[in-house]
Homo-oligomer: A and B are copies of this chain.
């Protein structure tokens, strides 16, 4: 089969690779129907995370089951399935608590920009749709496997409640999905922080009621202007830099909450500042598995359309161009079709 391999920052190649096989009885192998490039794939692509040696890429996927191990009974060959970037057995103590992305047997996916993919923990990780979905739903189901599930978690971690005010820091695919999540969870006012016209437009389409283009303390001041001077109930931090975290923490009101889903890079939080802010903080890789049934329903019922975040679709073999377009900010997110 063929798949993407990163060799060095800026150097992603489409290569012939060994076909994946069942290794453990809990594995499945799927034929990829759609995959994509994630904002976090840009960390090694940009050299911010080291590339020690060439390795496959990709952790977002929907596909059709080709083969299952002897321990897998929840899905069967021929079914269309959605998974998560973090696989989970869905039976351990952390999974039972609803924290599947901290599963004691977790394996992060990392080979999904390819024709076929081995899925560890398939029994606990994959959710099959009743039938093969219409083509129009594929991008949104793919989004559910990571960015939409992550935006959903950001909103839950930020404790978005009906009638509340939510701020979304970051206008990438996750931030935009965070707007969808805040809307679905009943936020009355949704403030998207974005300085790009096309992303502002999509944020509004997804439910943003206000747009703030300013950043840093200036952006925080604008949030305060809109929130009785005290800050927002909930803030979704969807970037992962020291600057975005600061902006998020300062935008929340005393007693408010920040949900942070951008993997933090060089972020240290001052204990005393957090203390006096009275802000609650929770982050992490989203426990997408727990949300899959609900989010798949919302997609197939037409209630949400997170697939709109894909503004570039390429054949999988052009994966390198998919990275380039996102790196150069010509695309928010690239959909790849094998």
Question: What is the interface of chain A, defined by CB distance below 8 A to chain B?
Answer: 93-94, 97-99, 101-102, 104, 157, 228-230, 242, 245, 253-255, 260, 263-272, 274-285
Contacts and interface: CB of A to CB of B under 8 A. Distances in A.
A102 B285 CA distance: 31
Contacts of A279: 282
Contact of A268 (B255, B260, B270, B276): B270
A276 B280 contact: no
Per assembly, the copies of the chain total 2
A97 B257 CA distance: 13
Contacts of A267: 270-272
A276 B285 contact: yes
A50 to B, nearest CB: 15
Contacts of A99: 253-255, 278
A253 B97 contact: yes
Given A97-B253, A264-B271, 8 more contacts: A97-B255, A99-B254, A102-B254, A263-B275, A274-B281, A274-B283, A278-B284, A280-B280
A276 B263 CA distance: 9
Contacts of A266: 271
Contact of A271 (B104, B269, B271): B269
A278 B282 contact: yes
Most chain B CB within 10 A, of A254, A260, A270, A276, is at: A254
Contacts of A229: 93, 104
A64 to B, nearest CB: 32
Contacts of A228: 93
A46 to B, nearest CB: 17
A158 B280 CA distance: 10
6 contacts: A94-B253, A99-B255, A102-B278, A267-B270, A268-B268, A281-B282
